[in-house]
Structure 1
Amino acid sequence: MPEAPYAADETALLFIDPYNDFLSEGGKMWPLVKTVAEEVGLLANLRTIMAAVRRSGIQVFIVPHHRSEPGDFACWHHATPYQKQSAAVQVFARGEWGGEWRPEFAPQAGDVVVKEHWGSSGFANTDLDMQLKQHGIRRLVLIGLLANTCIETTAKFGVELGYHVTLVRDATAAFSQDRMHAAHELNGPTYAHAILTTMELLAQLPSRSLAD
């Protein structure tokens, strides 16, 4: 049987922004992603992937957005419109429920929690690249939110740094289907090495024996 392309010793799962505000009823951003999330079966697919990845021995990296605090961008010269909007409603507010992990996706022992990113890239001004290199990682599988912002920007940055990048089209969501279409049908094919469904990804993950 051929070896799975996502070898456990060189593959990382990047779970981007598993916050209550994105993934839980009552979250500030959930109403905006709910329609697409339910159409693609987001939560079920995230659960399935996380369970399979943990069974396979693939390293999990949690890649979190900055948790909002009052006055974050008060003195910034070039805060983006998205940053300003997020600050106005305190998305992922530090110390509040919305800025906590959705419990079933909270980091477990052995997971790496990366330093928080301020923009859309999980690499920019964080320790993600160093952590990946120290773990011997060459391949990245990205899941989480949002498909056309943090997932896309982090994935593109990863490609520029020399990583093999895989997108999982039904393990992410966006504010609309046209944004999902742009992320996976227009932009994704210009940089991603693979764009898979959850089931296609699972078929290529390694299995780990009970003795491992």
Structure 2
Amino acid sequence: MEGKNTALIVIDVQKGFDHGVYGPTANPHAEANVSQLIDEWAERRLGPLVVVRHDSPNPLSPLHPDCPGNELKEDVARAEADLTISKHVNSAFYGNPDLHAWLGRSHIESLVLCGIQTNMCVETTARMAGNLGYDVTVAFDATRTFDIDVEVPGLGRLRESAENLMRATAMNLAAGGFAKVRTTADILSRL
């Protein structure tokens, strides 16, 4: 990250994730760390802030644009974003406007990612960013996810805790070379 043009990308920090449909969560203090990153980013003028919002096409989703849950949480909503992206898939690179094109025009080489859900949109965006050649860091304690309980044909009913899913994401990103996984404090001390 040092010596590079770095963008902070805040992914899907929306009110709908507090809706009971998602179940138990890990790292309930994630949003406090997201807020710290946003505040430090602005105060120290570390680079552009990109805010990503998931606009679910499912009218029953708390993240559907017609639902109050689609709104960004207060600390993210009040931030002065350089770019706001709307997406309806996991990766922020498949949103509107085009994140990759904007980063290129802005000469951004390095990304710091945070937000919700660790093993879904954050991990997918980090993997794609790594494959596109960005220097990616995930602020791990500024992410969170939820327990999963799903029926998978041929494998049966699968259940996993949010904590284990977060650990698996950290391992996948680090071992696969997609991203560095760090704490908020560590990231801020390196910038």
Per the shorter chain, which TM-score range?
A: 0.7 to 0.9
CA 195–6 in structure 1, closer or farther in 2 if over 3 Å, else same:
farther
2:127 counterpart residue number: 156
| Separation in 2, partners of 1:46, 1:154 | 17
Matched, 1:199 2:185: yes
CA 47–29 in structure 1, closer or farther in 2 if over 3 Å, else same:
farther
Letter in 1 for 2:136: V
Tell me if structure 2 keeps the 8 A contact 1:20–1:100.
yes
Matched, 1:63 2:34: no
| Separation in 2, partners of 1:146, 1:47 | 16
Deviation at 1:189, TM superposition (A): 2.7
Matches within 5 A, 1:122-201: 122-124=92-94, 126=96, 127-175=98-146, 176-201=162-187
2:24 counterpart residue number: 32
- Among candidates 29, 40, 53, match of residue 52 of structure 1: 40
TM-score in terms of structure 1 length:
0.74
Unaligned runs of 5+ in 2: 147-161
| Separation in 2, partners of 1:198, 1:164 | 16
Matched, 1:12 2:12: no
Percent sequence identity is 26
Which is richer in strand?
Answer: 2
* Residues 160-183 of structure 1: per-residue CA shift (max 9 Å, x gap): 111110011101011111100100
| Separation in 2, partners of 1:148, 1:159 | 15
| Separation in 1, partners of 2:8, 2:106 | 12
| Separation in 2, partners of 1:133, 1:29 | 37
CA 90–110 in structure 1, closer or farther in 2 if over 3 Å, else same:
closer
Deviation at 1:104, TM superposition (A): 1.5
Q: Secondary structure at the match of 2:24?
A: helix
Superposition RMSD in Å:
2.0
Q: Secondary structure at the match of 1:94?
A: coil
Tell me if structure 2 keeps the 8 A contact 1:17–1:145.
yes
Unaligned runs of 5+ in 1: 71-88, 206-212
Structure number with greater Rg is: 1
Q: Secondary structure at the match of 1:123?
A: helix
How many residue pairs get aligned? The number is 174
CA 184–105 in structure 1, closer or farther in 2 if over 3 Å, else same:
same
Matches within 5 A, 1:73-88: none
| Separation in 2, partners of 1:188, 1:91 | 31
Letter in 1 for 2:33: N
1:119 counterpart residue number: 89
Find runs of 4+ consecutive structure 1 residues off by over 4 angstroms.
28-31
Deviation at 1:108, TM superposition (A): 3.6
